[in-house]
């Protein structure tokens, strides 16, 4: 059986053991409105066959399901032979249109579930989709010769490892499959960004700038204008990520602790948090915005990663952890297959966890119309972070902020929480704290309206 059956349901993978039109229509709409994905029909996530289906039956079910979507969703599907019989893989591409069901619901894919959107979220998603699919636009003046064969070969090799499946096609077939070449064999924007010999020659804004300052302000020594180090990084996105990480790693302060007889190196910032922020900046920036590149500004007390373009679609700072929507789904898919993204949709919560577990403040997220900034602070608290078990489940940035407050003050009240999250509704904050209590991370005191860490 092919490798998808070895993976659990996720942001881009679903199983439909009992083939019925209505639940299939919901999955089609959710995937098309999000980043696309694969639906396995006739089998559950354990690889167990539920019913024997013939191609004619699947074709009929798919046809009926697509008719339940407005507008109709176009898909590709293929048969896959396994030890127990035949299953069917439906490939759903992210759509440039907004799709609803017959009853008016608009669904998106969130983790391994389909979730309906509300009015404002629907309008925000529709506005994002109406801007067109920039990734698939042909790059003026570029030819197939402007793509790097070595980088393409590396991508195909890493993709085979990720999928546990040999790719039998030609390099050009792989490129067309992910949208890197158009029907005229011309490089598209995503093709140039991922595989170009010199992408910045055609897409000038796709470079990266690193600047290190001496203190906490953008100044050099003695308060004069300047910086301690400045690097401009160019190349295809995989090389940009690698070189940017190398530069940041070189500039981070290092420490060490001894555990038993072994010495463990401690970096100024948790490596996963830095790499996640870096990869997100590269994946999700708005490449249509000219004149601005991704910037990393390192100060003595913090590091700022600034990505041109605000948050896409229905994503806000408040729902950043729970929701997932990509401005550039083909870039995301390419870097996922390359191995730069561990699991789609699960990075932000782990970034927060890594920072707080190491005794740092939670990352600070700032959304502006033309830029999104992630700030990582390097100051460590003297008190130990909560035990690993308390962080085994994801939490949002507000909840992490609440736990940081509790570490400093011993407890938190509803009023305290409203003061540190002034732009969030009281009901949302109440649900945040209730969730932490339900999960055993916090203990609610009965005599006072305080919440304290569970001992």
On whether the CB atoms of residues 316 and 367 are closer than 8 A, the answer is: yes
Dist CA 212 CA 218 (whole Å)? 9
CA gap 332, 344 in Å, rounded: 9
Model confidence over 426-444: pLDDT tens digits? Answer: 777 887 888 777 766 777 7
- Measured CA to CA, the distance from residue 451 to residue 434 in angstroms comes to 10
Spans in the chain with pLDDT lower than 70: 1-6, 50-51, 82-84, 130-132, 220-225, 256-264, 343-346, 380-395, 439-440, 445-455
Q: For the chain, list the domains and their CATH numbers.
A: 3-117 (3.30.950.30), 136-197 (no CATH), 205-377 (3.30.565.60), 388-453 (1.10.10.10)
Q: How far apart are CA 14 and CA 141, in angstroms?
A: 40
Among 196, 197, 172, which Cα is nearest to 184's? Answer: 172
The pLDDT, as a whole number, for residue 381 is 54
Handedness of CA 141, 145, 149, 150 (dihedral sign): negative
| Predicted local confidence at residue 82, as pLDDT | 66
Asked whether the bond before 405 is cis by omega within 30 degrees of 0, the reply is no
């Amino acid at each position: 059986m092919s490798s998808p059956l070895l993976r659990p349901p996720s942001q881009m993978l679903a199983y439909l053991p009992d083939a019925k039109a209505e639940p299939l229509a919901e999955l089609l709409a959710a995937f098309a409105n999000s980043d696309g994905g694969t639906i396995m029909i006739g089998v559950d996530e354990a690889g167990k066959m539920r019913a024997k289906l013939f191609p004619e039956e699947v074709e009929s079910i798919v046809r009926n399901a697509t008719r339940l979507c407005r507008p109709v969703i176009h898909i590709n599907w293929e048969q896959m032979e396994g030890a127990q019989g035949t299953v069917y893989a439906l490939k759903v591409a992210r759509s440039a249109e907004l799709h609803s069901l017959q009853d008016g619901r608009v669904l998106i894919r969130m983790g391994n579930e389909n979730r309906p959107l509300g009015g404002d979220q629907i309008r925000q998603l529709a506005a994002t989709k109406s801007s067109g699919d920039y990734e698939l636009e042909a790059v003026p003046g570029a030819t197939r010769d402007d793509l790097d064969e070595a980088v393409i070969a590396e991508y195909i090799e890493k993709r085979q490892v990720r999928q546990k499946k040999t790719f039998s096609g030609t390099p050009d077939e792989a490129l067309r499959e992910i949208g890197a070449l158009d029907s005229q064999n011309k490089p598209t924007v995503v093709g140039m960004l991922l595989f170009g010999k010199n992408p910045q020659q055609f897409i000038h804004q796709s470079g990266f700038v690193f600047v290190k300052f001496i203190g906490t302000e953008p100044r050099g020594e003695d308060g004069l204008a300047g910086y301690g180090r400045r690097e401009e990084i160019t190349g295809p996105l995989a090389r940009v990520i690698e070189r940017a990480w190398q530069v940041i790693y070189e500039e981070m302060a290092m420490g060490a602790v001894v555990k038993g007889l072994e010495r463990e190196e401690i970096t100024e910032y948790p490596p996963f948090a830095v790499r996640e922020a870096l990869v997100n900046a590269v994946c999700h920036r708005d490449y249509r915005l000219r004149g601005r590149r991704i910037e990393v500004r390192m100060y003595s007390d913090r590091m700022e990663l600034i990505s041109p373009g605000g948050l896409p679609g229905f994503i806000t700072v408040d729902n950043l952890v729970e929701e997932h929507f990509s401005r550039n789904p083909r870039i995301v898919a390419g870097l996922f297959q390359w191995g730069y993204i561990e699991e789609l949709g699960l990075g932000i919560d782990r970034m927060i966890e890594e920072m707080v577990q190491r005794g740092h403040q939670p990352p600070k997220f700032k959304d502006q119309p033309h830029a999104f900034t992630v700030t990582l602070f390097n100051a460590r608290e003297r008190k130990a972070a909560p035990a690993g078990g308390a962080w085994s489940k994801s939490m949002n940035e507000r909840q992490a902020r609440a736990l940081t407050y509790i570490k400093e003050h011993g407890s938190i009240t509803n009023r305290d929480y409203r003061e540190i999250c002034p732009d969030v509704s009281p009901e949302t904050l109440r649900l945040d704290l209730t969730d932490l209590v339900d999960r055993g991370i916090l203990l609610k005191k009965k005599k006072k309206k305080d919440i304290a860490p569970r001992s």
